[in-house]
Amino acid sequence: MELHRRLFAVEVKAAATLNAKDFAGLKRFQKITGERFIMGILLYDGDHTTAFGDRLFAVPIGAQWA
């Protein structure tokens, strides 16, 4: 697959804690885009990077400046 046809998504939440429901939008994007989907990242106000399923990750927003 050509690189320019691959997609990723970034979502931002103000919350310091997350649960599986917070990934509903990213999961929907993943389902719609199929094999073109590379990764979904949810930036949040927490402290830990955590996997939330297949190619879905929660990443502290502060990690951008670390």
Q: Note the pLDDT tens digit of each residue in 13-49.
A: 999 999 999 999 999 999 999 999 999 999 999 999 9
Q: What is the pLDDT of residues 12-23, one digit of tens each?
A: 999 999 999 999
**Rounded to an integer, what distance in angstroms lies between the CA atom of residue 59 and that of residue 34?**
23
**Rounded to an integer, what distance in angstroms lies between the CA atom of residue 66 and that of residue 46?**
14
| Per-domain residue ranges of the chain | 3-65
Residue 62: predicted pLDDT: 83
Q: Residue 18, CB half-sphere, CA atoms under 13 Å: how many?
A: 26
Residue 63: predicted pLDDT: 75
